[in-house]
Amino acid sequence: MSLSRVPAAIDKGANPVHFRWALSGGSSPLMRFSRRLLLVLCLFVLLGSPIYRAQNAAEDYLAYVVCESADKVERVRFHPGDAPSLKLDREIHIGLMPADINGPHGIAISPDREFLYVSVAHGRPYGSVWKLNTGTDEVERFAPLGLFPATVDISKSGRFIYVANANFHGDMVPSSISVVTTDATVEVKRITTCTMPHGSRLNPQGTKHYSVCMMDDMLAEIDTNTLQVSRYFMVSAGKEMAMSPPLAAHDAKHLMNATCTPTWAQPSNDGSVIYVACNKSNEIVAVDVEKWSLIKRFPAGTGVYNLAMTKDGRLIGTNKRGQSVSFFDPQSGKELARTPTKRKVVHGAVVTPDNRYVFITEEGIGAEPGTVEVMDLTTYKSLASLDVGEQAAGVDFWKMAPSQP
């Protein structure tokens, strides 16, 4: 007697799945046991698959947002489904100065999702970076950095964070990128790059760090092995060219003549292209990493500010002066959609790991609250919004969790 299995057929009308087997000969106790064991194993694999969980176990999406003028880090919870909703899940006060605005600006969550790193822009005189436990929201450590620490990114290993000391309110002189160990939260290197650095991002391989120089119209690349600037690229229209460090000193006239005013450097999913947001000229510059040359420039929304990549290679741009979010096919430069936002001064964007949604932050104007919106990456529609603390800025995705009633 033998048991032969016919390839499993999924009956689309059955729920969850109907398996069929053909038995040759009789049905001994051993064969019945084998058949039942095989069925259990198949169901175990199926029930443990992401597809089954997505269909049968509703999950919420949790993200952290920093509110620059409220000195708050807020955790928000998005519930998808027939009636999408966004609500406040947790609120944390951050900063050392009780009587002044501390100004949390940038944010990054560790690869293991256990720690949260927040750059705090203001201090006396310098800013700082803070390490928080995502489970308890308790502050673990903080370290002083440079003038107005802004955008933050974390290495693939989770061992280092890179913070752009933007120096927004200081003299027009070259500033730096701070490299900080995550275990002890200690600054190990301060790398001088250019005037008003911003848009701190690592390539997927973790070998290069990219930032832009808002007042120098430059893209800067740092080698993460040597922790030194390896090369620059001029992004001014008509003047695109590679440059080697050290960056020559520029006079005040040059600083006032920036035509791009770049605010973000976004590596592609394979790291072969860097996309630069030109906030002043309302366009995006694509730079070939291997050749270190211009690929193309293409028009973007008014005041394009921050960029993000979807898992399938679409490019998202927040339009700071345009009260909207743009979605691009970066290969062609075509704008696929432009979605209006609830409030003005659109800031940050982060894509969920399943590539279904993007969280957008909006600063608002004056005494207006900041706002978080969740947009659908299939329809490009806004699904839910939530008012948070004033001047919502940096945002990063934390995790998916079982839905709450």
DSSP string, 25-44: S---HHHHHHHHHHHHHHHH
Cis omega (within 30 of 0) on the bond before 246?
yes
What is 66-92+300-405's CATH topology? Methylamine Dehydrogenase; Chain H (2.130.10)
* Spatial distance between the Cα atoms of 209 and 402, rounded to a whole number of angstroms: 35
* Spatial distance between the Cα atoms of 340 and 321, rounded to a whole number of angstroms: 12
Give, rounded to a whole angstrom, the gap between the first and last alpha carbons of the chain: 53
Inter-residue contact 273 to 267 (CB < 8 Å): yes
Q: Evaluate whether 66-92+300-405 and 96-253 have a shared fold.
A: yes
Phi and psi torsions of 324, nearest 5° = -165, 170
* Spatial distance between the Cα atoms of 172 and 252, rounded to a whole number of angstroms: 8
Predicted confidence pLDDT, tens digits, the chain (405 residues): 443 433 333 333 334 333 333 334 455 665 665 666 665 555 554 444 444 344 335 899 999 999 999 999 999 999 999 999 999 999 999 988 776 888 999 999 999 999 999 999 988 789 999 999 998 989 999 999 999 999 999 999 999 999 999 998 778 889 999 999 999 999 999 999 999 999 999 999 999 999 999 999 999 999 999 999 999 999 999 999 999 888 765 544 455 578 999 999 999 999 999 999 999 999 999 999 999 999 999 999 999 999 999 999 999 999 999 999 999 999 999 999 999 999 999 999 999 999 999 999 999 999 999 999 999 999 999 999 999 999 999 999 999 999 987
CB-CB neighbours of 169 under 10 Å: 9
Would you list the domain boundaries of the chain?
A: 2-53, 66-92+300-405, 96-253
The string of pLDDT tens digits covering residues 265-320 is 999 999 999 999 999 999 999 999 999 999 999 999 999 999 999 999 999 999 99
> Residues 46-72, buried b or exposed e (16+ Cβ, 10 A)?
eeeeeeeeeeeeeebbbbbbbbbbbbb
Q: Which two tokens stand for residue 130?
A: 């803070």
DSSP H helical ranges for 336-405: none
Residue 7 DSSP one-character state: P
Say if domain 96-253 classifies as CATH 3.40.50.300: no
Q: Which two tokens stand for residue 310?
A: 């979807």
CA 332 to chain centre: 23
Distances 135 to 110, 114, 340 between C-alpha atoms, Å: 12, 7, 34
